Amino acid sequence: MKIGQYLKEGNFSISFEFFPPKTPEGEEDLFQTIKSLRAINPSFVSVTYGAGGSTRDRTRRVVERIHKETDLTVMAHLTCIAHSREELLQIIGEYKEIGIENLLALRGDRPANMPDFRPPEDGCTHADQLVRLIMENYGDWFSIGVASYPEGHPESPNMEWEIKYFKKKVEAGADFSITQMFFDNSYYYEFVDLCQKAYIDIPIIPGIMPITNFRQVQKFASMCGATIPQRLIERLEPYADSPEETLKIGVEFAIEQCLDLLENNVPGLHFYTLNKSKATLMVYEGIKEALKV
């Protein structure tokens, strides 16, 4: 199934994001998570790709296992900043051979342990270039998703700049987008409004992260520039050392957030699972009556 076409036909999507584990034990735990979440019948799942291509082999292995061992539609993330054009075409070609029809095209982060890192001269330094590379060589095969940033990418000086570069990815051939996580829906609504004014009309799926570890999500948020509302911070801070209370509050907030998004006719919901199923399943139970699926 091509995700872009599925969304274009007006279907609502529920999707989950996983990361490739570092150990065989972690991989088996992940597949138990996938088994648990399979009961929800997601539209698709995705597997992330580490900074600088650091998880290339692990990402491919997990993507291939999901594709061969389950009936789920799986999307592979691909970052371009550390790969040559030849390497990128090889990776993309391998995914086609496996039978993968969906890619999330990303620039990717520079490797944190390589302060003198320079991208290959013949590679792609921006995501729109990667989208164009895929389209020029495999445009008939892949549906291409891209990232979007309702609060702006950390490197964007303002939202005008953000929209300009997001539009470049769309014009290159991206047919849907998944947002960075956010906790204040107003940022998403404002971003979609700016996109519409810029004649960007691809589906923009909101990315949701149910909070299960307050300090961890504070770190994630500071890295990607996501704002945690003060009212949520005040609810979570007293229970920062209580996993049970943090989970309860985090799930309650995610349910409220998702119900509001559903009332405003979003094209889908994409959950950042951190390879766990409990919180996502709890959120699903709280919103399933309101879902359009």
Nearest to 163 by CA among 126, 194, 125: 194
- DSSP class of 290: G
CA angle 185, 191, 195 (to 5 degrees): 145
Query: 240 vs 109, 221, 233, 237, 249, CA distance in Å?
Result: 29, 16, 10, 5, 11
Candidate list 17, 64, 151, 162, residue with the active-site label = 17
* Numbers of helices and strands, H then E, in the chain: 11, 8
Nearest to 267 by CA among 40, 41, 14, 73: 14
Helix-helix angle 243-263:278-287, to 10 degrees: 40
* Separation between Cα atoms, residue 176 and residue 202, nearest integer Å: 5
Element (H, E) at 14: strand 13-18
Query: For the chain, what is the radius of gyration of the CA atoms?
Result: 18
Q: Taking a C-beta distance cutoff of 8 angstroms, is the pair 187, 227 a contact? A: yes
Which token pair is 94?
């391998």
Query: Is position 17 annotated as part of the catalytic site?
Result: yes
Q: List active site positions.
A: 17
